[in-house]
Chains A and B, each alone.
Chain A
Amino acid sequence: MPNLKKVILLGSGALKIGEAGEFDYSGSQALKSLKEEGIKTVLVNPNIATIQTSKGLADKIYFLPVSAEFVEKIILKEKPDGILLSFGGQTALNCGLELEKFLVEEKIKILGTPIESIKVTEDRDLFKQKLKEIEVKTARSRAVDSLEEAIRAGEKIGYPVLIRSGFSLGGQGSGVANNSSQLEKIAKTSLLHSPQILIEEYLKGWKEIEYEVVRDIEGNTITVCNMENMDPMGVHTGESIVVAPSQTLSNKEYHVLREIALKTINHLKIVGECNIQYALNPNSAEVDYRVIEVNARLSRSSALASKATGYPLAFVACKLGLGYKLRELKNKVTQATCAFFEPALDYLVVKIPRWDLEKFSKTSFEIGSSMKSVGEVMAIGRNFEEAFQKANRMIGLDQNGLVSSSNRLKQKYPGTNFKIHEEGLQKIINLIRTPNSHRVLAIVEGLKRGISPQEINKISHIDEWFIYKIKNITDSMKIIADSPRLDKESLAKAKSLGFSDKQIAVLRKGKETEIENLRKEYKVLPKANQIDTLAAEYPAETNYLYLTYKDKEEPKEAKENKKIIILGSGVYRIGSSVEFDWCAVSCALTLKKLGYQTIIINNNPETVSTDYDICDKLYFEELSFETVKSIYEKEKPLGIIVAMGGQESNNLAVKLSQAGLKVLGTDPADINRAEDRYEFSQLLQNLKISQPEWKQLTEIEEIKKFTEEVGYPVLIRPSYVLSGSAMNVALNEKDLENYLQEATYISQDHPIVVSKFITGAKEIEADAVAYKGEIKATVIGEHVENAGVHSGDATIVVPPQKIYIETINKIKEIVSSIARSLNISGPFNIQFLAKDNEVKVIECNLRASRSFPFSSKITGINLIELATYAILGQQILKQPIPLDLDWVGVKAPQFSFFRIKGADPILKVEMASTGEAGCFGENVYEAYLKSIISTGFKLPKESILLSLGGEKNKIRFLEQALMLAELGYKIYATHSTSKFLKQKGIASEKLYKIHEQNEPNIKTFLEEKKIDLVINITDRFFKKEIEDDYMIRRGAIDCNTPLLTDLKASKLFVLALSKLKRGEISLEIKSEQEYHQAETKNDIQPPLFSDK
């Protein structure tokens, strides 16, 4: 084994579409694996919301971009002996490839898969050649680097063809072309993002199968799991519904592919973990396959496989990278058997992706070979129906899952009248034919309308096996709805097919509690089955569980223990992701330290909270009222913590408490007082705290009247939001009317909330912890952007830099008085508007918020640890509010607009970012630059395009435009901006807007990479301009050119850039520990003591 003292690990940076929480899981396991060996670890990851960047995992953490430039400097400073590249997704791998020469020169050992093998798997031509050596088949394809070659390749291979780009994550920039003009269009975009693209035979209708393979340095190889995509080829595996293990493969098919996997991976000499993807012809006597690709690193699929089987892939892969042999490692689950084995499952899992396409304007619901989904859930069951139904509820779009297919389709496609048989049927058939985010709903609806499974198979190529299983569900819906009486057998049958009590109630037009009571009367109860990697052949030491109604529960007395249930965050979506996993994990670890037995409920395979060693018991389950209650009744814990998992788990507080479950921390009645608009508003009034005027209304005339009273602009949103979307700002009466027309379901039951929108106000947040109503810690963060940009999309600065003391004092007062009135015990977050020293409260959530990990890590005050004490009723020491630190932290949003074709990248009241990066700096400028570079922003070298909408924006940006000119940047500008700059004596070259179709045009300049940065500031209150400039913004995104759209952020950027260029600041290579070192001298550390 190599003698290693210090190893550097690269993380994957901010969460983005195609690269999400799964790499927090893999990095965290790798760090634990290294720690066990006594090896010092250095972690580079600017994703401040991750668990891997928490205290106790890595010895040193650098919140810096995972780019060659920064990593090189960190390596020179830290002098590690080895580096791990395969735990931080494509970002880390690409960075490693770029650093190859440097690493060799510095004699830094690349642990795990050799770089030569990585290169082979990343280069299509090399890959095909390599596989040809061992007679393994790959799809007919050609790697090309120009448009002409691409078209030639298309002709040669024959249409349809698939276009893929090399060196990219999640199939970025790929698509299917049926003819040369489609090919030209796709290839053009792909070539902008990747130097080389691949034109490939399109294996339409073939099954897509994956194997997760593990190999040690001696060549001992296993496949830990195989997975089958329900959606056939053409839909990216990240976009597909996936089952594990494969369901429709015969032994021959399974093992021919397995054998090829072993052969291929041995030939590629991979060490550690990798994934191999196949296309398999469903209509061939001999096993007719193509190897699609090999990912020589941990991936989304390996996270899924790891959770699906219980095999800690990342942990083992890391050990193998250190030189261990598989036979030398133990099976972590049984602690008795060996890690060289292939898990046997006695259940199956279903993964379903979550899309948030509704959040983006101008985009379609179609899915394909490029990733668009933002998260996923995994459900476990003893049959497909059970797991599939669970998963369809878990994705958090509708508690009624498949039962509400008809309603949901109606909502999503208001243009179709589903009531007209022909019209509805045609739409359904189209939705089944062309993959889209609602295909499952369409299949359900199609089956209900009598389309046969054969027909569905014919148009979708989804294997009939899946369709028949879904038909079992739709047939059951009818039986449940039509049976005069629900006897024990039919109820048990419905439950074993995965129906929730609520779904049964909806079908029978009854109440959820009635079904629950009936179920209990019949003793139809779920059984907790264990995931043990060996299908019960050996006893397991870990408590990794799921519930099933397929088996009968053996009555067991719950042991009286100090047990506490923590609800996890569930699926990652826009607005709720890894930050809540950090909260849940931090909470669990604190409870563990205090001697409690922890039980986590969560269903997201990308999380660390669902790892085998975080809690004492893990239920990989739904976060629904029914399931949480069932688990509670089984476990009989001291109580349940709802404050860590974000809004979804917090929403359960009242219902759980009313059902007699003990909710720990702030009283659910008080949580409700903050959640209920009327009650909260009343409370603020009583406390004499100001708030923007608002009203909840159901009549259009009332809305207009109220708006006239308060004046435009107003913020409008439905009080009842089914799935994201629908928050909007109306600037004038026309806007309002348009909006009210679009909001299809305004009614007595679905009122609309209208509130005064205050322009030019600063937004400030407070993350705080209180104990019995008394404030114990507060971290104040300041938004760079003005109010009007969703807090999740805002750039946040801690400690605040530009807030008046008076404002801060007001905020402190408000925080204290709200905490007191609501008698808060636990975490909470309040959002404020500040304008002219006046402070208004816009929102208050009595739970951990998105910014808790950022606030905690920047200040060194672990708010969740404190909150956990408070929730347990333990006294804690009051922390001073950190306002004057020797450093500044900035959190910048990560957007994934490139993934969402057509989406307008402008910032709005609706959140659109998929992740965030948080960095330290000596000052706000340094921290800001580091954090935006971390999100993939490249500092401009030569040229900048300015497009400033409206007179005010032009004047406000003038100083910055001057700075840019002084720094020597070539300035391009749109017509009126150019004119304005000229008046002020700033030279610029005028470019025509894209829709003006004149040369020199912005489009051409973007495509030819003549523009390094686009600053496009529109008058947010001038709709037409927003529309005109859409093409500029979208063009920048499509051409991978950095884009700034907010005035204040742009100003900050130019100021910071200028300071950097002038040498007034530098982007220092400092670890988190170095920043906090100075502070530890003052000892803000052990803040805790117990009053017991």
Chain B
Amino acid sequence: MKSGYLILKDGTVFEGKIQGCQKETQGEVVFTTGMTGYPETLTDPSYYGQILTFTYPLIGNYGILKEALESDKIHLSGVVVSEICEQPSHYNCQFSIHDWCLKNNVPVLTDIDTRMLTEKLRNHGTIIGGIFFEKKKNIEFKDVSGENLAKHVSCRDVEIYADGEYKKSVLLYDCGVKMSIIRSLLKRKIRVIKVPWDYDHKKVVDKFDGVLISNGPGDPEKVTALIERVKEIIEADIPILGICLGNQILALSLGAKTYKLKFGHRSQNQPVMDLKTQRCYITSQNHGFAVKQESLPKDAKEWFKNLNDNTCEGIYHAKKPVLGVQFHPEANPGPTDTNWIFDLFLENIDKHAKS
């Protein structure tokens, strides 16, 4: 096993070993505290361009199960873990994590103190860094985290998904959508028309009953083309649901502001409260940006609040069928407590269809 180094922009160096693909890489270094669901996490397009640290020290125990993938590949630039499992065990296991990362050209830095790294990121905030073969100095780091990254992970063409008979159709803006969002809709007998992030909804030939803006990477403010289109959709009173990046885009379309969090929320144990009902849920999250509560215009209301740091976890519109959640109701990885968000969205669609 080759030695490798995680070098952060501020000069901090962690020495470990490189497994998976033997190559150097760069990216925004972030951490996730989820203890399960690493295949889902690895293939979540929202991690595009980032170097992800797993705080849970043993990753790969059950290998890679194909059914657990959220897209067809790893979008991460690199992975950092304490230890990966060489002998995974699961009746359905297809690859070891090492083989999967190798196949995906992604390097995995192991045997570093991920707890120390996490503390560093927590105190300092997310930081640019890279995985290198040698201890280098004066590295030129390129930070893309403030860019429109959705365009890199969005689909190129319109795609239709349907599972047998369907009741309604939903237009899905793909900013890097997780398969579980599509599966959540299919399960509810919805036909999904997936379009690229900046696709003109007016050009969609098929009839659709609602719009879903997916999760995705990068700075929401930079996804301007979509923000403009969403304004029109809201104007047209079409039921709409935004998830994660989609929620931020909704907020921006409504005239609110977003900002970058110090080290983001990447975990499966984030507590949120539904401000309408006081009911609390554990949610799966993966976001570096958030909606500024105080910037919400009249009629745009805060729907969910994070119980740990009070950040905004969702919005709704007092008069229009607009719903946005910062967390991931589709789960995978993580808890399924907020699955009902999809049902609510469908209720809005039904109501709208009737009126």
Contact = CB atoms under 8 A, between A and B. Distances in A.
Interface of A: 218-220, 222, 245-252, 254-255, 258-259, 262, 282-285, 326-327, 336-338, 340-348, 382-384, 453, 463-465, 468, 527, 529, 534-539, 550-552, 554
A342 B307 CA distance: 12
A537 B58 contact: no
B198 to A, nearest CB: 32
Given A251-B37, A340-B307, A529-B115, 12 more contacts: A246-B36, A249-B62, A250-B65, A254-B36, A255-B331, A326-B280, A341-B308, A342-B282, A344-B55, A346-B33, A465-B89, A551-B116
A537 B33 CA distance: 8
A331 to B, nearest CB: 8
Interface of B: 31, 33-37, 39-40, 55-58, 61-62, 65, 67-68, 82-83, 85-92, 113-116, 118-119, 122, 267-271, 273, 278-280, 282, 307-309, 331-337
Nearest to B331: A255
Given A251-B36, A255-B334, A346-B115, A218 B57 contact: no
Nearest to B266: A537
A384 B332 CA distance: 25
8 contacts: A250-B36, A336-B308, A340-B307, A346-B118, A347-B57, A465-B88, A551-B115, A551-B116
CB-CB nearest 3 A-B residue pairs: A251-B37, A344-B33, A465-B89
Nearest to B336: A259
Contacts of B40: 251
A537 B271 CA distance: 14
Given A249-B62, A327-B280, A345 B56 contact: yes
A222 B268 CA distance: 12
Contact of A245 (B35, B86, B118): B35
Contacts of A259: 335-336
Nearest to B92: A285
Nearest to B64: A250
B89 A248 contact: yes
B122 A251 contact: no
A250 B55 contact: no
Nearest to B87: A468
Contact of B58 (A337, A384, A539): A384
A338 B90 CA distance: 35
Contacts of A384: 58
Contacts of A468: 86-87, 89
A342 B333 CA distance: 14
Contacts of A282: 91
A344 B269 contact: yes
A527 B114 CA distance: 13
Contacts of A338: 271, 307-308
B16 to A, nearest CB: 11
A535 B61 contact: no
Contacts of A463: 89
A340 B271 contact: yes
A282 B335 CA distance: 21
Q: Which of B82, B268, B270, B280 has the most CB of A within 10 A?
A: B280
A222 B282 contact: yes
Nearest to B308: A337
A471 to B, nearest CB: 8
A464 B89 contact: yes
Given A222-B282, A346-B56, A536 B122 contact: yes
Contacts of A250: 36-37, 39, 62, 65, 68, 90, 92
A781 B271 CA distance: 55
A337 B65 CA distance: 34
B255 to A, nearest CB: 30
A600 B118 CA distance: 27
A537 B267 contact: yes
A538 B90 CA distance: 33
A553 to B, nearest CB: 9
A251 B39 contact: yes
A344 B336 contact: no
A252 B113 contact: no
A465 B91 contact: no
B58 A383 contact: yes
Given A344-B55, A348-B58, A535-B55, A255 B91 contact: no
A831 to B, nearest CB: 48
B82 A344 contact: no
A248 B34 contact: no
B58 A255 contact: no
B264 to A, nearest CB: 10
Q: Which of B34, B67, B82 has the most CB of A within 10 A?
A: B82
A347 B57 CA distance: 6
Contact of A220 (B61, B87, B269, B280): B280
Given A465-B89, A537-B33, A255 B335 contact: yes
Nearest to A338: B307
A212 to B, nearest CB: 14
A57 B86 CA distance: 50
Contacts of B92: 250, 285
B335 A258 contact: yes
Contact of B61 (A248, A345, A382): A248
A336 B33 CA distance: 18
A346 B87 contact: no
Contact of B333 (A251, A284, A326, A336): A251
B55 A337 contact: no
A550 B34 CA distance: 20
Contacts of B271: 327, 338, 340-341
Contacts of B56: 344-346, 535
A529 B114 CA distance: 11
Given A255-B336, A327-B307, A344-B33, A247 B58 contact: yes
B122 A554 contact: no
B279 A337 contact: no
A382 B118 contact: no
A248 B63 CA distance: 9
A258 B36 CA distance: 12
A249 B115 contact: no
A476 B331 CA distance: 39
Q: Which of A283, A336, A535, A554 has the most CB of B within 10 A?
A: A535
Q: Which of A250, A337, A468 has the most CB of B within 10 A?
A: A250
Contacts of B35: 245, 344-345
Nearest to B306: A338
A252 B68 contact: yes
Nearest to A256: B336
A327 B273 contact: yes
A220 B271 CA distance: 11
B114 A464 contact: no
A496 B31 CA distance: 23
B57 A348 contact: yes
A282 B89 CA distance: 10
Contacts of B337: 262
A245 B279 CA distance: 26
Q: Which of B31, B68, B91, B115 has the most CB of A within 10 A?
A: B115
A536 B55 contact: yes
A252 B309 CA distance: 28
Contact of A247 (B61, B87, B91, B333): B61
A283 B91 contact: yes
A218 B278 CA distance: 9
A383 B83 contact: yes
Contacts of A534: 33, 269
Contacts of B86: 468
A341 B281 CA distance: 9
Contacts of B334: 251, 255
A824 B128 CA distance: 61
Contacts of A336: 308
Contacts of A249: 36, 62
